[in-house]
Structure 1
Amino acid sequence: MITNIPRKDAIELIGNTPLVLLQAASEAAGCEIYGKCEFANPGASVKDRAALGIIRDAEASGELTPGGTIVEGTAGNTGIGIALVANALGYKTMIVMPDNQSKEKMDTLRALGAELVLVPPTKFSDCNHFVHTSRRLADETVGAIWANQFDNTANRKVHIETTAAEIWDQLEGRVDGFTCAAGTGGTIAGVGLGLKERDENVQIALTDPHGAALYSYYAEGELKSEGTSVAEGIGQGRITGNLEGAPIDTQFRISDEEGLQWVERLLREEGMCLGLSSGINVAGAVALGKQLVANGREDARVVTILCDTGFRYLSTLYNAEWLASKGLPVFGWLER
């Protein structure tokens, strides 16, 4: 439950984020579409929750000891969350990230005091993939733990215990659908499991970008990718530890172009500056809402995740030259 009482420390600022009715998306879907404002976390993304859950779990198990180092491979946002939590709790941070992620994320990690290791982007099967590199560095560093956000189920556990509970309370127990994209799978699996515990009829939908393999897995039982996406932090080619047993009822595949349409509308019409993953999530929520309405649920309520702030993508998503170089539509105001 969101309260106005003072928090005892910065860690307590993580979670309890607002839920907002998205007017344009609701109109497009014919039912209520809500966005969980995860950009309101201290690290400006949903990954603050996973960072806190993983660190607290490592403390409780005794694996992480005072003054230790937390090593993680990440597209950026989990690293930012880990760095902030680690600073607050007296730990050091080493972050391994593909060098094709946004400059803003790299600059933020350095500003937070994290040791940043950049590696070329490569397939997960490559031993030099950022995940495998981070595991090796953790093994080689005295007093370090590997956060392992993809397969460490402390990630999804925090979403079962916090995100799902908050959504249920904020909508007073009337939730008909939830959807978001998967990176680690922690958010969709955790929120899905948490909502299903309360009402097994809540529809949980995967919203997958092009270039990822989960859409075909849940639709056809085969991990198969199609197309590409420039979205950072979402899209997965394997069933991670967090995705095992995820209660996915249906799935949608969303293009970057459709996601960008919602990024543009959310900023221009509703005053929210968000990243592409949020636009893709909202497109998926509209698709799920339309599906529920078509099945006779005109009063349906669908929730999705507004993952992070668009200010993290000023050199990419909000840069006319970058968009044009990717063959993507340029927001009208950027051309002026």
Structure 2
Amino acid sequence: MSNSSTWIAAPAAALALYVAWRMLATRERTRPAPINGVVGLIGNTPLIRINSLSEATGCEILAKVEYMNPGGSSKDRIALYLIEQAESHGELTPGGCIFEGTSGSTGISLAMVARAKGYTCHIVMPNDMAIEKSQLLERHGATVERVTPCSIVDTGHYVNVARQRAKEFSVDGQRGYFVDQFENPRNAEAHFRTTGPEILAQAGPFDAFVHGSGTGGTIAGVTYFLKPRMPGLKCFLADPQGSGLANKVNHGVMFAETEREGTRRRQQVDTLVEGVGLNRLTRNFATLFAGQRCLLDGAVSVSDQEAVAMSRWLMNKDGLFVGSSAAINCVAAVRIARRLGRGKRVVTILADSGQRHLTKFWNDDKMREMGYSVDCPESLDAFL
């Protein structure tokens, strides 16, 4: 190589090294910081298009995959928010114990966040919930108390037992903190501040939001956030059999067919779907009723058989392994999409995974024994 070519090549090599260094330095500056523990994983869940439902209805059916939260459900949001609010208001102090009555998912989320923050946790749940829920709670270090299902007016109801256990708690001067997810307005506030804004940012313009109600926190918080910001948006309740909420929304009267004289078989909400459906208005859900007007645009009742069929459809067609509450949301989303007409966009939530329902909802032998078909439907006409 001549001296002149060497002279030319040297600056070129130096420039290349400089450019590479600047790119690396820029990448270092823009690299996301490490997430701060397990609680840093809560929220910002993905929104997906459910291809089979979208193609079959001619609408775009989108679902926020809340079971991708670290605790496996949308309840992670309220667990973190309610605990942090309790800390900031002096209701929960170091060494305290967290108490809650839950069908399972909220308890798992509370146990996870409690352990991450150094608290103990005592969960009371009905003894007919899937056993893997109490097993997960125990693995998270929670004390689990399973009680016989009964009416909310009974002192033995799981929520009332949890409230009483919190009152009885006293260790080294510390008091128990009762979360009270059904009546605590911070529940809906958590979804107003997090879930609603995320949906709006991810989905863009859409026509309808569909979701079930257990505590009422998700549907109330998201509806209150979205409606003022999306003129023309319609919000619908997805309700399982045995629940009176659909009739309350559609007709103003709290009533379920299973309440008809001589028809009640097991308990007040007679459904295999866990975590949603009630025959009373929680404080969170009641906020959707302004005077005589309901902020929701209607409700869709979904049978247990339809929930089972939808779960098998989604696994067969989309590879989605969902739990019972996610399944009823998808049945209702299909019905709303067909009601609105082709070309519309409907958003719902996949609140739970099938992994928490292996011994019950996803146990084919058990479902057949109970009289349900576990075959994948041939078409969406099964959900008309």
TM category, shorter? over 0.9
Q: Does 1:280 align with 2:328?
A: yes
Residue of 245, 260, 265 corresponding to 2:287: 245
For 2:37 and 2:66, locate their aligned partners in 1 and report how far apart those are by CA, in whole Å: 19
Give matches, 1:204-219, under 5 Å: 204-219=235-250
1:157 maps to amino acid: E
Aligned residues of 1:179 and 1:285 also touching (Cα < 8 A): yes
Alignment match of 2:45 (pick from 13, 17, 28): 17
RMSD: 1.4
Partner amino acid, structure 2, of 1:38: E
Query: Residue 207 of structure 1: SS of its match in structure 2?
Result: strand
Whether contact under 8 Å (2:272, 2:361) holds in the other structure is no
- Offset of 1:170 from its aligned partner? 0.4
Runs of 4+ aligned residues of structure 1 deviating over 4 Å after TM superposition are none
* Counterparts of 2:231 and 2:32, CA distance in 1: 32
Does 2:355 match 1:311? Answer: yes
How big is each residue's C-alpha offset from its partner over 1:193-249, in whole Å with a ceiling of 9 and x where there is no partner?
111131242111001001001011111111101243200001011111111222211
Cα distance in 2, alignment partners of residues 205 and 130 from structure 1: 28
Residue in structure 1 matching 2:190, options 158, 169, 176:
158
Instruction: Output the amino acid matched with 2:53.
Output: A
Larger Rg: 2
- State whether structure 2 residue 117 is matched by structure 1 residue 89: yes
Aligned with 2:194: secondary structure? helix
Specify every segment of 5 or more residues in structure 2 that has no aligned partner in the other structure, as ranges.
Answer: 1-30, 259-269, 289-294, 377-384
Look up the equivalent residue of 1:114 and give its one-letter code.
A
Letter in 1 for 2:281: I
Which amino acid in 2 is paired with 1:237?
A: N
Once residues 325 and 44 of structure 2 are traced to their aligned partners in structure 1, the CA distance between those partners, rounded to angstroms, is 21
Alignment of 1:192-203 (within 5 A): 192-203=223-234
TM-score normalized with structure 2 length = 0.82
Could you say what secondary structure the match of 2:285 adopts?
coil
Q: What is the DSSP-based 3-state SS (H/G/I as helix, E as strand, rest coil) of the residue aligned with 1:101?
A: coil
Shift of 1:175: 2.2
Letter in 1 for 2:177: I
1:104 aligns with 2:104: no
Q: Matched residues in 1 for 2:354 and 2:32: separation?
A: 26
1:122 aligns with 2:122: no
Query: What count of residue pairs does the alignment treat as equivalent?
Result: 325
Residue 322 of structure 1 deviates from its aligned partner by 1.1
Relative contact order higher in (CA < 8 Å, ≥ 6 apart): 1
8 Å contact kept, 1:29–1:287: no
**1:186 and 2:217 aligned:** yes
Q: 1:54: how far off?
A: 1.2
Alpha-carbon distance between aligned partners in 2 of 1:221 and 1:83, rounded to the nearest angstrom: 37
1:126 Cα deviation from its structure 2 partner: 1.4
The alpha-carbon distance between structure 1 residues 236 and 5, as it changes in their structure 2 partners (threshold 3 A), is: farther
Deviation at 1:274, TM superposition (A): 0.8
Residue number in structure 2 paired with 1:269:
317
Counterpart in 2 of 1:176? 207
Kept in 2, the 8 Å contact 1:258–1:283? The answer is: yes
Normalised to the residue count of structure 1, the TM-score between the two structures is 0.94
